[in-house]
Structure 1
Amino acid sequence: RVNLNMMWAGVDDASWSGLLVFVPAMALLGLISWLASPLTIRHARVVQRVGTAMVGPIKGLAEWWDPKGQLTESDISPFMWPNGTMPKSAEFDALVADGFAGYRLRVGGLVDTPVVLSMDDLRALSKQEQITTHFCIQGWSGVAKWGGVPMRTILDLVRPTAEARYAVFYSFADGGEGGRYYDVHTIGNMGHALTMLAYEMNGAPVSVLHGAPIRLRCENELGFKMVKWVAAIEFVHDFADLGAGHGGYNEDHEFYGYRMPI
């Protein structure tokens, strides 16, 4: 009751005043949801597009702020929650059994110099470390120290062409409803100071649970945009022909918005 009072009645006591506001408010929201659900379920894509049109410009105005803050080792969380559907293929199982010695990252598409990189190749490139907060769309967060290759280095290596506008990250894993998990990022975001291909977490190799052998860290985005178990990167002009054409697996299947900056 004390928490309800502070949130809903603006008082710090053990009375029932907050509950008296909370219960009618929840009842009203429940009624609105019950009335709206037949429409929103039947026209989910329309709702997704309308929401994007309504919220997108507001997000655009807010994106002038470029989050680059980093924390200290004392801030590292004792536990980082793993999520996502794990890879389930003989190919990936063989890579795990071999300690990822046979892993090869394919980077191609609209680039001047396509490359295929082993883990040794990736470790030989410039390394960056950062201690940052991971924000999940599910509502939890956690702090970890990440080490890996800045995406700026990958851009310099492959040199995307003038036609390339997006980078597509493909996972070894499937999404929850089947089909390859992927996500799309702007070229500009790939040049962000805190965007990297991480192969270390808290000073050790990234675990399979958290995306081994490499995972994307894009610290100005929500967690679902940071593809784990990265199999390949493709630079493209647009993403209309990828999946359902909405810019990512969750955007295609769960009607998330494409723009998910923090």
Structure 2
Amino acid sequence: MVYITGLVVNLNHITTGVNRAWWLGLVLYIVWMAVVAAGWAAASPLTRPTSEEYATLHDNGFRDYTLRIDGLVENPVTLSYDHVKAMPKKEQITQHYCIQGWSGVAKWSGVPMREILALVKPMPEARWVIFWSGKGHGAARRAGSKCRPSFVTERTVNAA
């Protein structure tokens, strides 16, 4: 829409607040986008796991990865990555609010939690689902809330 209705005038209005066909708006927009792209590129390594364990898993195509589900369940399991990939998959676009203070909209993909719960069969006294990541981060949710159709265990974000 910005392009169709007049790129130079619109970008000048967006960047400088003036409704004139100055090329300054386009130049500022390009500079700002370059700064954003450089910041994103610089931050990307910080958001990827850097442990030796992750590097080994990655180099082996995650063949040695396992997902252990135990506790108050009738059927504790340890699933291989191939098993997880073979389970039913759901994709959805959702805004995520992280407890670390960031948020973002992304296309999430993974196994619906109801599939995992059906596999392990939580006992009636199970009140919480607790997740632990390889980096030691954890999250806890009431067991009932994880059965919502919208909840997926993350396998990919934005198809990556």
Say whether the fold is shared (TM-score over 0.5). yes
User: What is the DSSP-based 3-state SS (H/G/I as helix, E as strand, rest coil) of the residue aligned with 1:190?
Assistant: helix
Shift of 1:125: 1.1
CA RMSD of aligned residues (A): 2.7
Report the equivalent of 1:122: 84
**TM-score (norm. length: structure 2):** 0.64
Report the equivalent of 2:74: 112
2:88 counterpart letter in structure 1: S
Identity score, percent: 45
1:96 maps to 2:49: no
User: What is the DSSP-based 3-state SS (H/G/I as helix, E as strand, rest coil) of the residue aligned with 2:137?
Assistant: strand
Report the equivalent of 1:194: 150
Which ranges of structure 2 fall in alignment gaps of 5 or more residues?
1-36
1:146 maps to 2:108: yes
In structure 2, relative to structure 1, the CA distance for the partners of 1:115 and 1:137 (3 Å cut) is closer
Count of matched residue positions in the alignment of Structure 1 and Structure 2: 120
**TM-score (norm. length: structure 1):** 0.41
Which ranges of structure 1 fall in alignment gaps of 5 or more residues?
1-77, 174-179, 205-262
CA offsets 1:58-88 (integer angstroms, 9 cap, x no match): xxxxxxxxxxxxxxxxxxxx97x87988656
User: What is the DSSP-based 3-state SS (H/G/I as helix, E as strand, rest coil) of the residue aligned with 1:146?
Assistant: strand
Report the equivalent of 2:122: 160
Give the distance between the partners of 1:135 and 1:146, measured in 2 at CA.
13
In structure 2, relative to structure 1, the CA distance for the partners of 1:169 and 1:139 (3 Å cut) is closer
In structure 2, relative to structure 1, the CA distance for the partners of 1:110 and 1:93 (3 Å cut) is same
2:130 counterpart letter in structure 1: V
